[in-house]
Amino acid sequence: MDPKEYIASGILELYVAGALSEKENAEVHAMMLKYPEVTQEVLEIEAAILNLTAATSSKDTSDVFEVVKEKLQLTDTDETKVIPLQKPRSLFRYAGWAAAVILGCGLIYSVLKTGDLQSQIDIVKTEKEALKEQIYKANSDLTAATELLSVLRTKDIISVPLGGQTVSPTSYAKVYWDKKANNVYLDLQGLPDPPEGKVYQIWSLTLNPLTPTSLGVIEDFSADKDKVFDLKNTNESQAFGITLEPTGGSESPTMEQLYTLGVVASNP
Amino acid sequence: MELETLITKFQQKDVKAFESLYAMYNDSIFGVINTIVKNEDIATEILQDVFIKAWNKSVDYNTRKGRFFTWLLNIARNAAIDKTRSKSFKNAQQNLDVDFFVHSIENNDSLDEKTNAIGIKKYVSQLAEKCKQIIEYLYFKGYTQKETSETLEIPLGTIKTRNRNCINELRKMLKV
């Protein structure tokens, strides 16, 4: 189509008005691309309409854009992304890389730091467990001591001091005999640690005739801190004696190795 | 910057480009809206809505569909006309159809302060009555050729040429 005729037809004025169909719009657009004079005509018509319509504006609305921006939650930082200048752009790119590197380092650092902290936590946890155990042990030691004390204070308990004998004159021991419960508590603090391969054996004795009955051997003498032991005693004991015997104990006491001996006082 | 570049950037959500386009068209769009609703406060609200919609629907615009200004004009006219049809608006406003855009210009006091607008009042008043009407319907009300021909009771075939003559008249006055 001849561009002059096309322009003269008045279709371009309707194009700017928006009064054409979609098909007609596409046609005008094609003509504009083909003929610069058609494009020029459209621009001039548009300028005239812009002028005319702008003249009907009774107030300055430039500040309304701020409201529009606010309502769309647009910030000026968005602008920096699209500024078409080369220099700041590359600067921003480097800044981006720098930020990424810093972030990466930060991440690695915090991972390492986390590992560190984790092992520290583990150590603290172990320490805490150990402390708990100590407290538990102290508590049970205390309970044991309290129990022992309450036993020793019982009215029915018979206290028998055992004195040192020829083989070890400085040794001493004490036997607390709970006749009702058939228990004896032995306080062996006054005895030396038995030599290797030897143990103390505790004997209940009846006099006239002298008859020893073994109450048992003290296997863990050295390991025991408070040196207080308890054994069963169902005998009508008149005296208690402690001898040093080979590990495992003996059938009858080795009298040459009698460390301590004591007679039950209340015995009639 | 080229208008096309500006529009492309605007479609890529460039706020600066958006601001530039707003500065180019806000007067025209506000004028058209206010000519329809004849209430500055309501027109200002609609102006906001139009540009918000334009931003949100920017991808809908395509050069093959028409001029960017025309696209905005369409959104604005539709929004303004929708408003005049709303119940709340009808109750508050009356006798909307008596005035033409010419009155908007003639009664526009702010024009006197703008040097580039001096004379437009006079020129517009000098436009032939048939031109005032056809421009009103085609550009301010967004009527189609058919609607304009029916409303003004002139043959459909003469709309195009009559309008061209009127716009030529206007261009002579505005020297574009």
Cβ–Cβ under 8 Å, residues B89 and B43: no
Nearest by CB: B28 against A54, A64, A83: A54
pLDDT at B88: 76
Which residue in the set B66, B109, B121 is minimally distant from A25, CB to CB? B66
Closest chain A C-alpha to B101 CA, distance in angstroms: 7
Residue B162: the pLDDT is 94
Percent of chain A with pLDDT over 90: 45
pLDDT for A76 equals 64
Mean predicted confidence (pLDDT) in A66-73: 90
Q: What is the pLDDT, as a whole number, of residue A90?
A: 62
- Asked if the model's pLDDT at residue B50 lies above 50, the reply is yes
- CA nearest neighbour of B176 among B120, B115, B104: B120
pLDDT-wise least confident of A99-108, A112-121, A143-152, A233-242: A143-152
Check A62 against B26: CB less than 8 A apart.
yes
Residue B95 confidence class, pLDDT cut points 50, 70, 90: low
Residues in A touching B47 (Cβ below 8 Å): 61, 64
Distance CA B68, CA B52 (A): 15
Which of A140-144, A150-154, A244-248, B44-48 is the most confident on average?
A: B44-48
pLDDT digits (tens, 9 = 90+) for A172-201: 999 999 888 888 989 999 999 999 899 999
DSSP A179: T
Which of A42-56, A232-246, B64-78, B96-110 is least confident? B96-110
* Range B132-159 average pLDDT: 92
Q: Residues A218-241: what's their mean pLDDT?
A: 88
What's the whole-number mean pLDDT along residues B54-63?
93
Q: What's the rounded Cα separation, in Å, for the pair A253 and B146?
A: 137
Residues A16-29: pLDDT tens digits?
999 999 999 999 99
CA distance A100 to chain B (A): 25
What percentage of chain B reaches a pLDDT higher than 70? 88
- pLDDT at position A267 over 50: no
In angstroms, what separates the C-alpha of A90 from chain B's closest C-alpha? 18
Name the band, by pLDDT with cuts 50, 70 and 90, for residue A39.
very high
A 47-106: CB under 8 A from B: 47-62, 64-65, 67-69, 71-72, 74-76, 78-79, 81-83
User: pLDDT tens digit string along B68-83?
Assistant: 999 999 999 999 999 9
Q: Which pLDDT value is given to residue A268?
A: 44
Please determine, for residue B98, whether its predicted confidence score (pLDDT) is greater than 90.
no
Tell whether the model's pLDDT for residue B125 goes beyond 90: no
Kindly list the residues from chain B whose CB atom is less than 8 angstroms away from the CB atom of residue A59.
Answer: 30, 40, 110
Residue of A nearest to B106 (CA): A56
Number of residue pairs across A and B with CB atoms under 8 Å?
183
Average pLDDT over every residue of B96-111: 69
pLDDT at A230: 87
**Cis bond leading into A84, ω under 30°?**
no
Nearest in space to B135 (alpha carbons), one of B173, B162, B95 = B162
Quick: pLDDT tens for A125-180.
888 888 888 888 888 888 878 877 887 777 778 889 999 998 889 999 999 998 88
Smallest CA-to-CA distance from B104 within B39, B13, B12 is with B39
Residue B18 forms contact with A (CB below 8 Å): yes
pLDDT tens by residue, A72-91:
988 765 444 454 555 555 66
| Contact A45/B at CB under 8 A | yes
For each of the domains in chain B, give its residue range(s) and CATH number, in order of start: 1-98 (1.10.1740.10), 105-176 (1.10.10.10)
pLDDT at A85: 52
Radius of gyration of chain B measured on its C-alpha atoms: 17
The Cα of B154 is separated from the nearest Cα of chain A by a number of Å equal to: 16
Contact in structure between A228 and A243 (CB atoms under 8 Å)? no
Evaluate whether ipTM surpasses 0.95: no
Residues in chain B closer than 8 A to A46 (CB atoms):
67, 69
What confidence category does residue A94 fall into, taking pLDDT thresholds of 50, 70 and 90?
confident
Joined together, the tokens standing for residue B104 give 């908007």
Searching chain B, which residue's CA lies closest to the CA of residue A58? B108
- Among A145-154, A203-212, B99-108, name the most confident range: A203-212
Stated as kind and residue range, the H or E segment containing A204 is strand A198-206
Average pLDDT over residues A3-11: 94
DSSP letters for chain B: --HHHHHHHHHTT-HHHHHHHHHHHHHHHHHHHHHHH--HHHHHHHHHHHHHHHHHTGGG--GGG--HHHHHHHHHHHHHHHHHHSHHHHHH---GGG--HHHHHHT-GGGGG-GGGTTHHHHHHHS-HHHHHHHIIIIIS---HHHHHHHHT--HHHHHHHHHHHHHHHHHHHT-
Q: What is the pLDDT of residue A87?
A: 52
Distance from CA of B81 to the nearest CA of A (A): 16
Contact B82, B33 (CB under 8 A): no
Q: Is the pLDDT of residue B57 over 90?
A: yes
The structure tokens 């208008």 sit at B3
Question: At residue B59, what is the residue type?
Answer: V
Averaged pLDDT for residues B25-29: 95
Q: Residue B14 above 60 pLDDT?
A: yes
* pLDDT surpasses 60 at B118: no
Question: In the predicted model, what is the mean pLDDT of residues A28-54?
Answer: 94
Instruction: Sort out which chain B residues have CB atoms less than 8 A from A56's CB and list them.
Output: 31-32, 34-35, 101, 104-105, 108, 140
| Residues forming a β-bridge with B108 | none
Angle (nearest 5°) at CA B93 between B91 and B95:
120
Mark which residues 17-36 of A lie under 8 Å from B by CB: 17-20, 22, 25-26, 28-29
On the question of pLDDT at A50 being above 60, the answer is yes
CB contacts, 8 Å: B18 with chain A: 74
Instruction: Measure CB to CB from residue A54 to each of B31, B48, B144 and give the nearest one.
Output: B31
CA distances to A86, A150, A228, A230, B96 from A154, in Å: 99, 6, 17, 16, 114
Name residues 43-72 of chain B within 8 A of A (Cβ).
44, 47-48, 51-52, 55-56, 63-67, 69-71
Contact B13 A78 (CB under 8 A): yes
Distance CA A140, CA A148 (A): 12
